[in-house]
Each structure stands twice: as structure tokens, then as C-alpha cells.
A and B are shown apart, each in its own frame.
Chain A
Amino acid sequence: MEFDFGAVLVDWRLLVKGVVWTVGLTAIATLIGMVVGVACAWARSSGPLWLKGIVGAYVELIRNTPFIVQLFFIFFGLPAAGLKLTPETASIIAMVMNLGAYATEIIRAGIEATPKGQIEAAVSLALNKVQVFMRVVLPPALKKVWPAMVSQIIIVMLGSAVCSQISVEDLSYAANLIQSRNFRAFEAFIVATLTYLALSIGLRKLLNWAGPRFFFGR
């Protein structure tokens, strides 16, 4: 058995393009997914009863079905119901829905751990409901659950490898394309896998750094 990684690495342009797509999809999904998560966590902890029910159903439905099925449903299923999507849009929607559901549960755990006295103190300072949530409840809640959030974002990034199945040109698509050209399947997937590993290590470092700076202060 002989390995020829050179045959894979000459196509480095494809790999770089794949990395850009994977990182780009993850970045967009993370930003929107976090907003969805915060909104749903608010709804689930202090919204009206009917909204709690809807959000609860959404969360359980997403958490108990595989990502690939969600993606196929959005990309293949929805056009039959009249909603046509490009592969990229479908992937982003699927990733946002997926991360949103997990983020809801994670952030809710943080919100519910807020001591009652803090909310009472904020209300007694004449802050309104939105101010209390955005300035008093949310920042420490995010801080508490940030490690879990980071892990979940990385899981979504790794899960996005599946998007190559609907021809999004991400990193795993690049690996598939390269191996279909030179038949070096094992080498191509080793390179892609190690790149994913590097991405997940880098992303964890980045998020651990960015969280305190941009999302909840130090």
C-alpha cells in the first residue's frame, strides 16, 4: 500500500475554496442561529403559553431527528410544496434551524439560573421588560453556558459536511471531487478530515476568545 498525498495537495485551490464555504456557512448559521436561540429561549422561559408549546415542539422535533433528514426535507421536500431553494440557502436554513433548537435549550438553562433578586433589583431601578432581559438576564446567562454553546457550534460545523450531499461546494465536497479525479480516496479524505480537525480546534479557540469580548463582556 502506497500513499500519495501530493496528488491530493496539488488541488489545494479546491480545498481552500471548500474551507471558505465551510467556514462561511458556519459563520452565518452561528450568527442567525444564536439570535433564534435567544429569541426562543426567551419565549420558552417567559413567553405566553401557546408560544411555549410551539417552541417546545420545534426544539424536540429538531433534536430528535438527524440533520441530514432535516436538510433533505428542506432541499427536496419543500420544493414539492412550492418553495424552491438553492443548495446554499437550504443548507443555511437547515443549519440555522438545527443550531437554533440546541441553542434554545442551552441558553434557557442559563436564563433559568439567574437569581430572582437580580431581576427584582433591575425592575426596582425602573428598567423595562426588554432592558431587564437584554442587560441583566442575558449577558450572565450567556457567560454561564458559553462552553456548551461553543461545543454545539463546533458540532454544527462538523455536521455541515453533510451539505456536500446536496452539492454545496464545502470541504467534504472538495474531498469527493478530488478523489473522483485521481482515485486517491483515502488520502483525499485524510486531508479533509485533518483540515476539519484543525478548523474545529481553531474555531474553539476563536469562540473562547470572542465570547467574552463581543457577547457578554468580562
Chain B
Amino acid sequence: MNDFSLWDILRNLLMALRWTVVLSLIAFVGGGLVGGLLLYFRLRAGKVLERFIGGYVALFQGTPLLMQLFLAYFGIALFGIDVSAWTAASVALTLYTSAYLTEIWRGCVASIPKGQWEASGSLALTFGEQLRHVVLPQAVKIATAPTVGFLVQVIKGTALASVIGFVELTKAGSMISNATFRPFEVFSCVALLYFVLCFPVSLYAKYHERKTYGRRA
């Protein structure tokens, strides 16, 4: 019978924490790239594509992330590809993140007055130049707070990857709890570590929100 001290528990959880961080970064960066691409198509292309992407967003926002993870896990396997929990979790979280980010960013771009598009268009700027010099510099400022805020959702979302066997913080917590029979301490530590990871990000998002909109009464 092994005796685990609280420090042993915490040390093992800290080792697992890095996979939570890595998975969050993969999902956030990957989701940002895909989301940006979708945003470009939404602004550029006609109504058919716009509706298609709208459906994509509604699909990911209207179904549980857990189901998306299962579908990625069993869906990729249908193509005869041997999927690891890594691949499935990365793919599912990337798509999930891209759907939310493209919707957030679309709202930010839509909040730029239409006259600015028209004015820059009448100055013979191409679509790319309009985006680069006129619209995006303003939209990015508005988008920072909600984007950083969504990062917290992504970090919390990675906890669900534990269900398909990805060993990150939550899965490590379950395993250690099974080995030590001390679920109270273990899950307290797990929650605390998530809090330590997420709370600064939340504060940073709030700070940006105040910077953008001023302190609301």
C-alpha cells in the first residue's frame, strides 16, 4: 500500500496539467486559423456559403462538446485511420473552437459601420486592402476581450477529452483518485489547478473589456 502525500498528488497533477495546456493551445490556435478562414469566406462569398457556415456554427453551438468528441473519435476511425485520443481531441476541439471564434469575430466585423466599407471601396481599395487597413484594425480591438474570454471556455472544454481517454488534468485526477482513495483532496486540487489556469485569463479578458468599453455603471 502506497502512501501518497498531498505533495505527491499535486506533483502528479502538475505533470498532467501541461497536456491540458498543450491541448488548449492546439485547439485555440487551430480553431483560430480555421475560424479566420471561415470568417474570410463569410465576408467574401455569396449567400449560399454564408448560410452553410451559419449552419456549421449552429451545429457546433447546439450540440454537446462531449458528443462532438465521441463523433470525432468514432467518425475518423470509419475512414480506416487509427485514431489516438490525441488526434480525436485535437480535431474535435479545433472544430468546436473555430465555430465559436468565427461567430464572435463576425459580430465584431459587423459592428464596423457600413460607411467605412463604402468609403474605402470608393477609394479603390481592394477587398484585401479594405480588410487590412480599415476594418480589421478596428475589429481586432473589439474582438480581443471576447476572444480571450473564449479561451477560458476552451481550457474548460479540454477537460472533456478525459472521457475519450486523453490523459490530461481531469483524467489524471480520476486515475490518482482511484489509486489513492482520496477523491476529496484530489478533485479539490484538480479544481484549484484549473482555477489557477483560468482565472488570470478571465481577469485579462475583463481588463480588456473595460479598456474597450470603459467601466460600465
Spell out A's residues near B (CB within 8 Å): 1, 60-61, 63-70, 72-73, 76-81, 112-113, 154, 158-159, 161-162, 165, 172, 175, 179, 185-186, 189-190, 192-193, 196-197, 200-201
Tell me, rounded to whole Å, the shortest Cβ–Cβ distance linking A147 to chain B: 14
Do the beta carbons of B62 and A161 come within 8 Å of each other?
Answer: no
Do the beta carbons of A64 and B66 come within 8 Å of each other?
Answer: no
Chain B residues, Cβ within 8 Å of A68: 159-160, 162-163, 170
Residue among A60, A66, A77, A196 making CB contact with B156, cutoff 8 Å: A66
Q: Contacts A77-B184, A77-B188, A161-B66 given; indicate if A65 touches B170 (C-beta within 8 A).
A: no
Question: Interface on chain A toward B: helix, strand, loop, or mixed SS?
Answer: helix
Do the beta carbons of A186 and B78 come within 8 Å of each other?
Answer: yes
Chain B residues, Cβ within 8 Å of A165: 163
Q: Contacts A64-B202, A67-B156 given; indicate if A158 touches B170 (C-beta within 8 A).
A: no
Return 10 A-B CB contacts under 8 Å, by A number: A63-B152, A66-B194, A68-B160, A77-B186, A81-B184, A154-B62, A165-B163, A172-B66, A186-B71, A196-B63
Tell me, rounded to whole Å, the shortest Cβ–Cβ distance linking A58 to chain B: 12
Residue among B62, B173, B198 making CB contact with A196, cutoff 8 Å: B62
Q: B76: nearest residue on chain A (CB-CB)? A: A186
Spell out B's residues near A (CB within 8 Å): 59, 62-68, 70-71, 74-75, 77-79, 152, 156-157, 159-160, 162-163, 170, 173-174, 177, 182-184, 186-188, 190-191, 194-195, 198-199, 202, 216-217
Tell me, rounded to whole Å, the shortest Cβ–Cβ distance linking B2 to chain A: 18
Q: Contacts A63-B202, A77-B187 given; indicate if A201 touches B152 (C-beta within 8 A).
A: no
Do the beta carbons of B199 and A197 come within 8 Å of each other?
Answer: no
Tell me, rounded to whole Å, the shortest Cβ–Cβ distance linking B138 to chain A: 25
Q: B75: nearest residue on chain A (CB-CB)? A: A186
| C-alpha spacing A172/B81, complex, angstroms | 25
Residue among B59, B160, B191 making CB contact with A70, cutoff 8 Å: B191
Tell me, rounded to whole Å, the shortest Cβ–Cβ distance linking A158 to chain B: 4
| C-alpha spacing A208/B202, complex, angstroms | 29
Do the beta carbons of B177 and A76 come within 8 Å of each other?
Answer: yes
Q: A164: nearest residue on chain B (CB-CB)? A: B66
